[in-house]
A and B are shown apart, each in its own frame.
Chain A
Amino acid sequence: MNGSPWNPVLYKVSSKSIENADLLTFELDPVGDEAIDPIAPGQFNMLYAFGIGEIPISVSSILPSYPTLVHTIQDVGRVSKSLIQLPVGDIIGVRGPFGPEWPVAQVKSKDVLLIAGGVGLCPLRPVIEYILDHREQFGEVNVLFGTRHPDNIIYHRDIISWQSDPSINFQITVDHAFPSWRGNVGVVTHLIDKAKFYPENTISFLCGPEVMMRFGIYACLDAGISEDMVYLSMERNMKCAIGLCGHCQVGPYFTCKDGAVFPYTMMKPYLNISEL
């Protein structure tokens, strides 16, 4: 990491694109010569809205044009609302990158099963990009995406591209649909029957609300995928991002420092503990 992890680097909002009613994707470019280190799939940055506060946001795409950053932000609180309302050209602070990567570069020749729920697709999009850029290094690639309603679908251009790409099995399902919806309806775990993989040679990454991930993990294990081949991205109230403040503690781990991407085997004892 360049410099102190406490010092935000100044970035300006270069572009904004609306994903759905409460979700925007930002491109950020450094204001001066200083930039944060290159970010990897699964890592996150702390984005600072000056005078309001700071929030952790996963990288949602990795452009070849370093040091441009891409983050997708959901309007869920005071800081995110403030960030979303910033006009193009305004300045924010960025600290990072933090946390381990999805182990995508270390699983060559394996089949891949990605399960995303709602905005959980954002941290997995760089994984899909990496796989498609290195497609020959992987076996079967499946992406199962569940969301509440067709109106909540994000990254439309990417999804159309992925659905028409024969080298990747991309499936969407929604919980509720309008009458003209001709796609899948049902929970995302239902889609596992449509995935093609050899369980003994498969790695699975899950990202989404924790309840969804729990049921997604059960589906992976039921399908025969080994526990140590399942990874998930945990969300907690991260403040310092370097494992000092303790806000994001889960058992003996700090989500900001030890995660947000964890092997399931590390999180297994804690996933069913209420309000942990």
Chain B
Amino acid sequence: MKNIKEVLSDLSFFSDMSDEMLEFIAACGQNMHFSPDEYVGRESGSADYLFVITKGNIAVQLEHPTKGTFTIRSLHDGEIAGFSWIIPPYRMQFDLKAREHTSVVALDAGCVRKKCEEDHHLGYLMMKQSAIIMNKRLEDTRVQLMDIYSGRV
């Protein structure tokens, strides 16, 4: 079984990081496991972790008071969940719910933020990779808003 540093080093998110940086970040991590339908994080809760999915499937969800639960996005192996860790006031914006048996590396947000403040190069790499993913998800959401399948073929 791979240790946390080895798991992180396989992901493009961490690919620009030096061995020392990876060691540094991995020290903030712990393995967590979730059962199907178990919440990984809840909207309005404190964004205490950045989750790296190593196995399974997490749904990003919003609860509507009368229409029920909306799944906005599904995230799978190798993807990152929980970007509220990086943006004050560090409050979860969505529910994260495991859809099957799911394993993650949970990086302690306070620990990572502290290390990013101490090492700005590390902080830049974390911000750069986060910005790439957040930008892609913003683009995807805009495309979803266009209801692209509604046209004729």
Contact = CB atoms under 8 A, between A and B. Distances in A.
A255 to B, nearest CB: 12
A187 B143 contact: yes
A233 B68 contact: no
Contacts of A76: 152
Contacts of A207: 153
Interface in A196-239: 207-212, 215, 233, 235
Nearest to B69: A179
B92 to A, nearest CB: 18
A209 B149 contact: yes
Contacts of B143: 187, 189, 211, 215
B74 A184 contact: yes
B152 A209 contact: yes
B73 A209 contact: no
Contact of B153 (A146, A173, A209): A209
Nearest to B68: A179
B73 A119 contact: no
Given A207-B153, A215-B143, A186 B148 contact: no
Contacts of B99: 182
Classify the secondary structure of A's interface with B: mixed
A81 interface: no
Interface centre among B68, B143, B149, B152 (most CB of A within 10 A): B149
A194 B76 contact: yes
Interface string A121-157: 0110000000000000000000000111000100000
Contacts of B89: none
Contacts of A178: 68
Interface in A52-75: 58, 74
Given A185-B59, A186-B74, A175 B140 contact: no
B141 to A, nearest CB: 9
B57 interface: yes
B150 A123 contact: no
A190 interface: yes
B151 A211 contact: yes
B140 A119 contact: no
Contacts of A42: none
B153 A208 contact: yes
B144 to A, nearest CB: 5
A187 B148 contact: yes
A158 B99 CA distance: 25
Contacts, number: 83
Given A118-B153, A211-B151, A181 B71 contact: yes
Nearest to B70: A176
Interface in B62-114: 68-74, 76, 78, 99-100
B146 interface: yes
B147 interface: yes
B67 to A, nearest CB: 10
Given A117-B149, A179-B71, A194-B76, A187 B59 contact: no
A195 interface: no
B148 A209 contact: yes
B149 A147 contact: yes
Contacts of A215: 143, 148
Contact of B73 (A152, A185, A211): A185
Nearest to B78: A193
A182 B150 contact: no
A177 interface: yes
B152 A175 contact: no
Interface of B: 57, 59-60, 68-74, 76, 78, 99-100, 140, 143-144, 146-153
17 contacts: A120-B153, A148-B149, A148-B150, A152-B149, A178-B68, A185-B59, A185-B73, A186-B73, A187-B144, A189-B140, A189-B143, A209-B148, A210-B151, A212-B148, A215-B148, A235-B151, A235-B153
Given A186-B140, A209-B153, A235-B152, 6 more contacts: A148-B149, A176-B70, A178-B68, A179-B69, A183-B74, A185-B73
